[in-house]
Chain A
Amino acid sequence: DTEVTQTPKHLVMGMTNKKSLKCEQHMGHRAMYWYKQKAKKPPELMFVYSYEKLSINESVPSRFSPECPNSSLLNLHLHALQPEDSALYLCASSQGQDSLAKNIQYFGAGTRLSVL
C-alpha cells in the first residue's frame, strides 16, 4: 500500500477565511512534505517534516502554517490567503531522508485550492 490520502479534494475560500488541509499516510513513513503546484508548472517544495519535526521551510509566507500532530498526519493551516495562492497543494511522504531509496516520495492526489 503506497497511499497518501488528502482531504478535501477541492476547497474554495475567501481571503479572510481560515481553513486546513489534511494529509494522512499509514506506511510508517517518517518524512512528510507539502508542495504547491501551479498549472503547467512543477511542484514547488514548501515544508518538510522529518520524525515529526520541521526540517525544511522554503521561506513560505506565514499565512501557511504546517503542523505534524503525529507520524501519520500532516496538516496545513491556511489564513488570510491571497488569490495568487490558488493552486494544487500536494502532500507526499517517504520512508526517511537518510538514503536515496528511503527518499522515494509517494504523493497524494492533492487539494485544489481556489482563493476568491
Chain B
Amino acid sequence: GQNIDQPTEMTATEGAIVQINCTYQTSGFNGLFWYQQHAGEAPTFLSYNVLDGLEEKGRFSSFLSRSKGYSYLLLKELQMKDSASYLCAVFMTTDSWGKLQFGAGTQVVVTP
C-alpha cells in the first residue's frame, strides 16, 4: 500500500533552522514534492527532488534518498510568515499517468 509519514507539528524560534522529515513506502515512485499551505489558503509549490541529493532554493532546501525512502525539507532563517503546514507529496506513476499522493502535513509554528 501507500504510506507517507511526517511529524504532525514542530515549533521553532524566529531565525532558527527547522528540518521536516518525510518517509514513504509507495509503489511507482517517481519523485517527491514539497508544498507549503497557510491556513485557509491553497498549497504553494516549494521544491521537488527526483534524484538523490540536496536541492537548494534560497532559505529552503530539500533532500532525497530513494534507497531509504526518505526526504527532508530544511527551512533556514525562519520568519514568522513561515508558520504554515508543509506537505510532503510523492509523485507516483501508473501506466501512462502520474499523480501526487500527499502526506498529512507538518504544522510548523514559528515563535518570536
Q: Which residues of A contact B (CB under 8 A)?
A: 4, 40-45, 48, 50, 55-56, 90, 97, 100-101, 103-110
- Interface size class on chain B is 20 to 34
Beyond the given A48-B97, A104-B33, please list 16 additional residue pairs across the A-B interface where CB-CB is below 8 A: A4-B42, A41-B104, A42-B102, A42-B103, A43-B102, A45-B99, A50-B97, A55-B96, A97-B98, A100-B30, A100-B91, A101-B48, A103-B100, A105-B100, A107-B42, A107-B44
Nearest CB on A from B42, distance (A): 4
A-contact bits for B10-44, CB 8 A (1 contact / 0 none): 00000000000000000000110100000001111
Interface of B is mostly: strand
CA distance A41 to B104 in the complex (A): 6
Q: Which of A56, A100, A106, A109 contacts B41 (CB 8 A)?
A: A109
13 A-B pairs (CB sep. < 8 Å): A41-B104, A42-B103, A42-B104, A42-B105, A43-B87, A45-B99, A55-B96, A55-B97, A56-B99, A97-B98, A100-B31, A100-B48, A105-B45
